[in-house]
Amino acid sequence: MIGVLLAAGAGTRLSPITKVCNKLVLPIYDKPMIYYPLQTLLDSGISEVVVVVGEFKEQIKVLIEQFPHRSQLKVKYVIQKKLNGMAGAIKCVRPFTRQESIFVIAGDNVFVNNFKKEVGEFEKGAVSFLRKVYDPHCFGVPYYHEKRLIKIVEKPKKPPTNWIVSGPHLFDKNVYYHIEKLIPSARGELEITDLNSRYIDKGLLRLKKRTDYWADTGTFESLLKTSVMIQKLVPKRS
């Protein structure tokens, strides 16, 4: 399985800082944001990674070269010329992933545990994760009929549950076929929710509940909260 690290986003929620730098260079406690998903990839048994970058490609490359465990990673870079959503970013890596499954992780997501078990067990279809949040209307929310997953709705006004679909996302080699069938959303993006829906239609998406810590650090508030949490977890230095 090959890791796909998404690092091309505009980071508009962290503007104006992101006018001059990629948000993934910003610190979460004492490390650049991008080091957290890199560590999650390694801890999950992924050593070959394709990093999707944008206009701040050089900043990302410099940081990854300084990553403490860089020697354990085989890294390639691909530029997403048009920022057209997560599925659009995944589409860019097709030439680099051959016929292998992929493990997709957003650069601004922080996890305290790994996904080694899920990677080891993965065979076909797709796997995403369910996590409980206080603001489900900001995420993709699963809808069920008689306990059967029927759809995922992006940012519903009246979500039926506090459980939302979060990353990382595991996809089989057929992911690019499904992306080709996607229609851009109202905001002109190829949505990860629509990609997951393609797998739902074929009965091939599994959603696994997780209750361990996860954070989307794309806002100033979450950046601060996550830094404080990480500080508490890190052993005190002498």
pLDDT tens string 55-89: 999 999 999 999 999 999 999 999 998 889 999 99
CB 139 within 8 A of CB 77: no
* Average pLDDT value for residue range 114-129: 96
CB 61 within 8 A of CB 73: no
Phi first, then psi, for residue 72 (nearest 5°) are -90, 0
CA 166/CA 203 separation, integer angstroms: 19
Q: What is the pLDDT of residue 64?
A: 97
CA 8/CA 52 separation, integer angstroms: 6
> Which CATH code of 1.10.760.10, 3.30.1440.10, 3.40.1010.10, 3.90.550.10 fits the domain covering 2-215?
3.90.550.10
CB 193 within 8 A of CB 166: no
pLDDT exceeds cutoff 50 at 238 = no
> Residue 161 has which token pair?
């549950």
pLDDT tens profile 137-189: 988 999 998 888 999 998 899 999 999 999 999 999 999 999 999 999 888 88
Q: What is the pLDDT of residue 236?
A: 58
Q: What angle do CA 159, 162, 165 make, to 5 degrees?
A: 90
Whole-structure pTM value:
0.93
> Residue 154 has which token pair?
């992006």
**111 class by beta-carbon count within 10 Å (0-12 exposed, 13-18 middle, 19+ buried):** buried
CA distances from 220 to 9, 75, 134, 185, 225 (A): 16, 29, 17, 27, 9
Element (H, E) at 120: helix 116-121
* Average pLDDT value for residue range 133-137: 91
pLDDT class for 114, splitting at 50, 70, 90? very high
CB 166 within 8 A of CB 131: yes
% pLDDT > 90, the chain:
85
